[in-house]
Structure 1
Amino acid sequence: MTFIDKLIDNTIRPDVRAMGSYHVPDASGYIKLDAMENPYQLPDALRAELGARLADAVLNRYPVPSYATLKQKICAKLGVPGGYDVILGNGSDEIISIIASAVARTDKRAVIMAPVPAFVMFQRSAQMAGCDFVGVPLKSDFSLDKVAMLAAIAEHRPAAVFLAYPNNPTGNLFDAADMVAVIEALGDTGIAIVDEAYEPFAQSSFMARLPQHPNLVVMRTLSKLGLAGIRLGYMSAAPKLLEQFDKVRPPYNVNVLTQAAAEFALDHVDVLNAQADALNEARTALSNALAALPGVTVFPSRANFLLVRVPDADGACAKLLADKV
């Protein structure tokens, strides 16, 4: 064994050594559909105006740590209830990591739970924070298995349960009543986190329900709305709970260029919402066209992507890659 191998064995956690890196394939030259991004840029006039705004950003200073202006715009433009604030993150990945770190314990291993299949970062962030992850399989139609979820909550007493709404990678909205049952089953022993990354396309949200459920967190990202490149996520919760999460958030975690770009975009959120509406129309057209193909099943989606079952998945994937898709 070499020196560097011994060093890694002696210093790096065994579970980290056993992990693979989060691999993002190079999509240069391809029609890129795998990251569920908004394919539309801002109109040319707004891009020029944004360029001028970014040119005025003060790069030699750290960001204003309160992010007060940006947070006020998010609350005002994106439906955060009155009296509630938000915490900002470097993408929703950091928001998930903040939550996982906050619920991790030193006296025992906390449990983080989610229906599966789910966004991979729920499990990955749980593992990195030193928590156990419990996945509860969805039903065959990808709906939430309420009975199984409630049984798993009773058995494992999770500190946090992530519910993606719509779900990634299935695209469907779970039944709202089933989600409320999960939130209420957690009571004062667990936090329910509703991940609304695809809310611009779903037109359905738990944000307005925050005052009804003190153990509820709603998290979102600006990535799917059309700002994936600036990496900005946010979450809202009861003020006392949000205060605890803020203790885990690194200082200056959102850079000044992201801050300026997000503030500008929120001043023109109607443009982004119109793009989301156009994508919803395209989703419907694509869904209908795919469903007309022999042997193809298209599952209902309220996100900006479709889950499709085909007779030969490997062959279809190979053909798409050969066609640079």
Structure 2
Amino acid sequence: MTLAPIRPELRGKSPYGAPQLDVPVRLNTNESPYPPGPELVADITASVTKAVLDLNRYPDRDAVELRTALAAYLSESTGVTRTFEQVWAANGSNEVLQQLMQAYAGPGRTVLGFEPTYSMHRTIAESTGSRYISGPRRPDFTLDPDAAVAVIREEQPDVVFLCTPNNPTGLSLDPETVLAVHDAFGGLLVLDEAYIEFSHEESLLSLLENRPRLVVSRTMSKAFGFAGARVGYLTADSRVIDALQLVRLPYHLSTVTQAIAGAALRHRKGLLQHVEDTKKERDRLIAEMRFLELTVVESDANFVLFQVPDAPGVWRRLLDAGVLIRDVGVAGHLRVTTGTPAENDQFLRALRELGGSSTARNDRAGLPSLEA
């Protein structure tokens, strides 16, 4: 029986995904290694118990209480005053980005990113029928503002993605570079700050003032350790929020999701202490890996990108040792998520057993690279 034809631009594509394997140490998807503590679990349980009493009713379709709490968190943590009218929330930052593409990109419009970067930027853009262009980076993965401005002026995209700290490299952008990109075109600039809480640098939220074409997206998956809850958000001019309400599905955030996200925000002080622990461990990983004579990219995120001569082979040998990290498709590089001190010790021990910088001596070359 003949199937209905899929859209031509989707033919031959592979779905986004990272391997989910049952191994002792999983350091491949940039999750927090710290589960919710007992006080948060109790609050979530109570909040869900209250919420389920009204599950016969639709949720607050505008999630005003949650957006108000997110605005308070942004104001408190950055010193930049935000109101709920300037904040939007959805099921993970990917849905937030998808809604932006539905409103500001789509057929006949162009989206620009600078790869390597978060691969879902391209995927979401293309899935909404947009034309996606990859801009240049320097060999060290930094962004050359002059080169970025040149490609923007040539292509005149409708949407530009900048990721800071960037995934998978961990590098941050300075405000001057962001402003140079912003001023080079007349479309929407999306600043993806999914990992900003782990950064040595401050958030660039202050750049939003008097810049209605600038959007800053965030997630609760990383710093809040809420990857399983699927809550993402953005902050922007209130007119951007109005545009997103035109494309969002009705009642897109469930009553339960809104309830548990609110509980996490009430316990943010304790949750963000884990961020400080992760930052210390990330810096330790970098120092230890450099001691092994590995070339490591500086990181402002909760992961580290490092260079190896045979990335697929080293990935396989680490997996054989019970440690799962990520081959992100950057030639000669692997990415490791920062785990608990014990998990990081196991990863470092496995690296040492491979011979540190001598990981080039690997007779298992030719193994296939995993999808970025």
TM-score (norm 1): 0.92
Counterpart code for 2:15: S
Counterpart code for 2:209: P
The answer to whether the aligner puts 1:78 opposite 2:66 as a matched pair is: no
Structure 2 distance, partners of 1:306, 1:82, is: 32
- Which stretch shows the higher mean deviation, 204-213 or 258-267? 204-213
1:81–1:210 contact (8 Å) kept in structure 2: no
Structure 1 distance, partners of 2:38, 2:106, is: 49
Q: Which runs of 5+ in 2 are unaligned?
A: 324-372
Which runs of at least 4 in structure 1 moved beyond 4 Å after TM superposition? none
Larger helix fraction of residues: 1
Q: Of 188, 191, 196, which aligns to 1:191?
A: 188
Structure 2 distance, partners of 1:246, 1:149, is: 31
2:165–2:193 contact (8 Å) kept in structure 1: yes
Equivalent residue number for residue 52 of structure 1: 46
2:227 aligned counterpart, secondary structure: helix
2:189 aligned counterpart, secondary structure: strand
Counterpart code for 1:104: A
Deviation of 1:48 (Å): 2.5
The answer to whether the aligner puts 1:157 opposite 2:151 as a matched pair is: no
Deviation of 1:252 (Å): 1.2
Structure 1 distance, partners of 2:270, 2:88, is: 24
2:16–2:120 contact (8 Å) kept in structure 1: no
Taking the TM superposition and a 5 Å limit, the aligned residue runs for 1:32-111 are 32-58=26-52, 59-79=55-75, 81-83=81-83, 84-104=85-105, 109-111=108-110
Equivalent residue number for residue 198 of structure 2: 201
Deviation of 1:105 (Å): 5.1
* 1:155-180: CA deviation from partner (whole Å, max 9, x where unpaired): 11101001011000000102321111
Structure 1 distance, partners of 2:56, 2:149, is: 51
* 1:267-301: CA deviation from partner (whole Å, max 9, x where unpaired): 1110111110100001111111111003x111100
Identity score, percent:
36
Equivalent residue number for residue 7 of structure 2: 13
TM-score (norm 2): 0.81
Structure 2 distance, partners of 1:45, 1:237, is: 32
Structure 2 distance, partners of 1:50, 1:238, is: 31
Equivalent residue number for residue 127 of structure 1: 126
* 1:141-192: CA deviation from partner (whole Å, max 9, x where unpaired): 1111212211111111101001011000000102321111001112xx2111
* 1:220-254: CA deviation from partner (whole Å, max 9, x where unpaired): 00000111111011111111222112211112111
Equivalent residue number for residue 216 of structure 2: 218
Counterpart code for 2:4: I
1:117–1:137 contact (8 Å) kept in structure 2: no
Q: Of 308, 317, 320, which aligns to 2:318?
A: 320
Compared CA separation, residues 105 and 258, structure 1 to 2 (3 A): closer
Taking the TM superposition and a 5 Å limit, the aligned residue runs for 1:285-300 are 285-294=284-293, 296-300=294-298
2:104–2:188 contact (8 Å) kept in structure 1: no
Structure 2 distance, partners of 1:15, 1:207, is: 35
Deviation of 1:52 (Å): 2.2
Compared CA separation, residues 54 and 133, structure 1 to 2 (3 A): same
2:97–2:124 contact (8 Å) kept in structure 1: yes
Q: Which runs of 5+ in 1 are unaligned?
A: none
The answer to whether the aligner puts 1:23 opposite 2:8 as a matched pair is: no
Deviation of 1:82 (Å): 3.7
Counterpart code for 2:93: S
1:87–1:246 contact (8 Å) kept in structure 2: no
Counterpart code for 2:118: F
